[in-house]
C-alpha cells in the first residue's frame, strides 16, 4: 500500500461525492472499508474504494425520481417492484439510486406506467 493509495476523509469525500461525516458513520457501521485507522482513531480510505463508491452513488434517488414524475415516493418503489423501472442500486446506507438513462427512457414514454399515482 503506497501513500498515494490512501486518502484523508476530505479527499475521500471529494472522490466519492459523499459527505465526510456520512463516510465516518458508514465506516463505523462497517459499510465502507477503511484502509487504516491511526492510533488516535482517524480514518484513512483507499482511493480505489472511494472512486467505486462514486459510481455506486451515481443516479437519481427515489425522491428525485418522484419529483421528475410528480408522484409519491411509494409509487416509485412500486414501479421498481413491478419492473416499470427495471434497475436500482443500493448505496452502503441502504438508499436506492436509479440510473438516469432508465428514468429518461420512462420519461420518453410519456411516463406511461400503468401504475396509479
SS (H, E, C) the chain: CCHHHEECHHHHHHHHCCCHHHHHHHHHCCCCCCCEECCCCCEEEEHHHHHHHHHHHCCECHHHHHHHHCCCHHHHHHHHHHCCCCCCEECCCCCEEECHHHHHHHHHCCCCCCCCC
Domain shared by 52 and 72, yes or no: no
Domain boundary among 21, 36, 57: 57
Residue 115 covered by a domain: no
The one-digit pLDDT tens for each residue of the chain (117 residues) are 565 799 999 999 999 989 999 999 999 998 999 999 999 999 999 999 999 898 888 889 999 999 999 999 999 999 999 999 988 888 888 889 999 888 998 888 765 554 444
Range of the structural domain that residue 69 is part of: 62-108
Statement to judge: residues 36 and 72 lie in one domain: no
- Number of domains making up the chain: 2
| Shared-domain flag, residues 24 and 69 | no
pTM: 0.65
114 falls within a domain: no
Amino acid at each position: 500500500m503506497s501513500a498515494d493509495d490512501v486518502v484523508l476523509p476530505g479527499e475521500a469525500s471529494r472522490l466519492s461525492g459523499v459527505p465526510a461525516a456520512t463516510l465516518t458513520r458508514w465506516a463505523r457501521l462497517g459499510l465502507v472499508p477503511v484502509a487504516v485507522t491511526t492510533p488516535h482513531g482517524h480514518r484513512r480510505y483507499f482511493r480505489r474504494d472511494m472512486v467505486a463508491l462514486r459510481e455506486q452513488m451515481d443516479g437519481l434517488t427515489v425522491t428525485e425520481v418522484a419529483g421528475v414524475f410528480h408522484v409519491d415516493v411509494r409509487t416509485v418503489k412500486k414501479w421498481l417492484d413491478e419492473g416499470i423501472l427495471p434497475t436500482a442500486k443500493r448505496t452502503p446506507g441502504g438508499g436506492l439510486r436509479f440510473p438516469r438513462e432508465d428514468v429518461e427512457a420512462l420519461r420518453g414514454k410519456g411516463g406511461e406506467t400503468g401504475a396509479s399515482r
